[in-house]
Amino acid sequence: MANYHPNNELLMSFAAGQLPNSLGIMVACHLEQCHSCRQQTHLYEQLGGELLGDLPEETVGTNVLSRILDRIDEPVSAPSLATLNQGDLAIPRPLRRFIPGSLDTLEWSGMTKSIREFDIEIEDPQFKAKLYKIGAGKELPEHTHEGNEFTYVIDGSFADKTCQYHEGDFILADTQTIHQPRATMDKDCICFAVMDAPLKMTGIFGRMLNPFMR
């Protein structure tokens, strides 16, 4: 069960379809596991429907219905098996079509064998999306953020100076956050992260790395 959740503003924006693509996919991953957030989102969807019902009617063109019916008859290409990634159940369903194969077969990259990452190609002008894999008992360098970074824990868990986060947790780090996430000793931790600005390493060694983080 998740202990950390998207705030009400994010859930309301998700219900209204107003979140950027990457962040919307992350919220959908959390909703897949979190019953209370699903309920809250459903309430926002009902509220939105009631508000739309109270709006005055708009006049539309006389040929709108016929154009819609014509489009129903247009052929639709079936999605490929590569698009329908059903193989790795460890990947949340909203994210599977963006992940080729399984978590074990991804072409991870990174500066060390203990800290790996994988860029996720999601069409989104605002956020960059990636997976992080932190080896069991290993930690990221201490850092802060030049903007907002949202993180969803897919597997395993990690801790920083303030909290410990487990599978399904949804975390926000911003310019006020300075932390050094460490995976627990029992297993690797895999997280889905979206950010609107680069990380900013702290400390002497971290400042030497910053030019390579752009």
DSSP string, 130-149: EEEEE-TT-BPPPEEESS-E
Decide: pTM greater than 0.85.
Answer: no
State which of 31-45, 47-61, 109-123 shows the largest mean pLDDT: 31-45
Residue 43, in any domain of the structure: no
Instruction: List 159's β-bridge partners, or say none.
Output: 164, 182
Lowest model confidence (mean pLDDT) among 20-34, 57-71, 74-88:
74-88
Q: What CATH number corresponds to the domain at position 180?
A: 2.60.120.10
Please state, in angstroms and rounded to a whole number, the distance separating the CA atoms of residues 157 and 168: 10
Cα angle 139, 170, 97 (rounded to 5 degrees) comes to 95
52 domain-assigned: no
Domain-located, residue 152:
yes
In a domain, 191, yes or no: yes
Whether residue 21 lies inside any domain: the answer is: no
- Residue range of the domain that includes 163: 100-213
What is the tally of structural domains in the chain? 1
Residue 162 forms part of a structural domain: yes
Mean local confidence (pLDDT), 154-160: 95
pLDDT band at 82 (very low <50, low <70, confident <90, very high): very low
